[in-house]
Amino acid sequence: MSERNEHSKGGVYSVKGKEFNRDSRYIETRIVAEPREGTDDYPVEPHRYRLVAAYACPWANRAIIVRDLLGLDQVISMGNPGPTHDEDSWTFDLDPGGVDPVLGIAKLKEAYERRFPGYDRGITVPAIVDETTGEVVTNNFPQITEDFYVEWKQFHKADAPNLWPDELRDEMDDVMQRIYTEVNNGVYRCGFAGSQEAYDAAYDRLWTAMDWLEERLAERRYLMGEQITEADVRLFTTLVRFDPVYHGHFKCNRNKLTEMPNLWGYARDLFQTPGFGDNVDFEQIKAHYYVVHTDLNPLSIVPKGPDLANWRSEHGRG
């Protein structure tokens, strides 16, 4: 998901005097094991779909991590746009000739337009594209990762984690909802506040949630207990961007992540788990926020810091 791209395509990014309001209208088509009659469901089919996901984007980063954790890299290909984009679309700057080698397109917008001519909402990542037609299937980021677990289960690797444990589902839904509204989206509410009053309210909401998480993680290794779940993936992609971007760029600066012992240990624990840290690219993350958000950073100067070597230090969460 690109906040700037959403703004240019009709989403609200900040309105003077008001709080940031995310355009959450996504393509609700799903890829399922048993397509339902009377719907536009697509069937689960190995080697048919391409996940288009930028490492820079926290929402796309979720899908990259879950695909890796479950071993779906063997059946779903992946294309990675560059960290920056124009007002029109995410682009494949990292590929030879600036063209995705499988889809044969320079802009992700082309896949959206093939299915929905004149598509007038944000050209967002993650998106799943049908390789057989070149058409976008879905960009509904929370549904994508849930379906990776539930609908693609027959293709999971043998030691794939149970990211959606049935016995924890109700509590986990509540935890993930609070993380989404107060933390994942909360940092943007701070960064794109349209007034001092909106910023102050957003800041207070964010830090109330961060303190709640710090307290929760004092008593358990992961958010839901002793095993990694989808909830951890959803929080991790915000935490890993906190000190490099959100602390300064979005003015979420009460303190750094490194100054919260439980959250900092937890974040490093996940970072050092295969599938998490090896799918983080700090240089792309910083380039995206500091270059694309010219209204917040008009000269597009990318800061050299912070020193991120400490992500590999002992976390003490075993």
Q: Do residues 21 and 122 both lie within one domain?
A: yes
Catalytic residue of the set 26, 55, 57, 246: 57
Binding residues for glutathione: 90
Q: Do residues 13 and 117 both lie within one domain?
A: yes
Domain of residue 182, CATH code: 1.20.1050.10
- DSSP 8-class letter at 107: B
Catalytic residue at 190? Answer: no
Distance (Å) of CA 43 to CA 78, 95, 130, 219, 317: 18, 29, 11, 41, 40
Q: Do residues 188 and 232 both lie within one domain?
A: yes
Judged against a pLDDT cut of 50, whether residue 281 lies above it is answered with yes
Residue 61 lies in a domain: yes
Least confident stretch, 2-16, 83-97, 268-282: 2-16
Q: Do residues 16 and 151 both lie within one domain?
A: yes
Question: What are the tens digits of pLDDT across the range 6-28?
Answer: 333 333 344 555 778 787 889 99
Residue 16 pLDDT: 54
Question: What are the tens digits of pLDDT across the range 55-85?
Answer: 999 999 999 999 999 999 999 999 999 999 9
Tell if the pTM clears 0.85, that is, is over it. Answer: yes
Catalytic residue of the set 55, 149, 188, 289: 188
- DSSP 8-class letter at 36: P
C-alpha torsion 154→158→161→165, nearest 10: 50
Q: Do residues 141 and 226 both lie within one domain?
A: no
- DSSP 8-class letter at 33: S
Question: Please, which residues bridge with residue 107 across strands?
Answer: 91
Decide: helix, strand or coil at residue 224: coil
Judged against a pLDDT cut of 90, whether residue 123 lies above it is answered with yes
Q: Do residues 33 and 76 both lie within one domain?
A: yes
Q: List the helix and strand counts (H, then E) for the chain.
A: 11, 6
Domain of residue 113, CATH code: 3.40.30.10
Q: State the residue range of the domain holding 196.
A: 166-279
What would the two tokens of residue 135 be?
């058409």
Q: Do residues 222 and 267 both lie within one domain?
A: yes
Q: Which of 8, 17, 24, 55 is nearest to 185 (CA)?
A: 24
Catalytic residue at 42? Answer: no
Distance (Å) of CA 229 to CA 53, 61, 138, 294: 21, 15, 23, 35
How far is Cα 286 from Cα 188, in angstroms, rounded to an integer?
Answer: 15
Tell me how many domains the chain contains.
2
Residue 23 pLDDT: 78
Q: Do residues 12 and 151 both lie within one domain?
A: yes
